[in-house]
A = this chain, B = another copy of it.
Amino acid sequence: MPRIIVEVMPKPEILDPQGKAIASALPHLGFTGFAGVRQGKRFELTVDGEITDEVLESARTAATEMLSNPVIEDVISVRVDDQDAA
């Protein structure tokens, strides 16, 4: 079934405790060279039928109203998945 991908990241100015903890763990595991990590979310919305403009618009609204918390997160992309469904 066709899919829409929604990507959400913590706002850059907001503290991201998870990213911070990962960033400080990486060098201990021998992964050096990374200056920082931020952790966000990736949603796959499976669409029942074709992905019309309407559906995409509805996904955009869902992304800002429900899949993200606008106070601390940004929706950075809402797009049709171009890869084959796994």
Chain A positions within 8 Å of B, measured between CB atoms, are 1, 7-9, 12, 19, 22, 25-26, 29, 31-49, 55, 58-59, 61-62, 65-67, 74, 76, 86
Q: Which residue of B lies closest to A58 (CB)?
A: B31
Given A31-B66, A33-B58, A35-B1, A42-B40 contact (CB < 8 Å): yes
Given A41-B40, A41-B41, A86-B12, A46-B66 contact (CB < 8 Å): no
A31 partner residues in chain B, CB cutoff 8 A: 58-59, 61-62, 66
In the complex, the answer to whether A40 meets B43 with C-beta atoms within 8 Å is yes
26 contacts between A and B (CB under 8 A): A7-B42, A9-B44, A12-B86, A22-B66, A31-B58, A31-B66, A33-B55, A33-B58, A34-B46, A34-B47, A34-B59, A35-B46, A36-B45, A36-B46, A37-B43, A37-B44, A37-B45, A37-B46, A38-B43, A39-B41, A39-B42, A39-B43, A40-B41, A40-B42, A41-B42, A74-B86
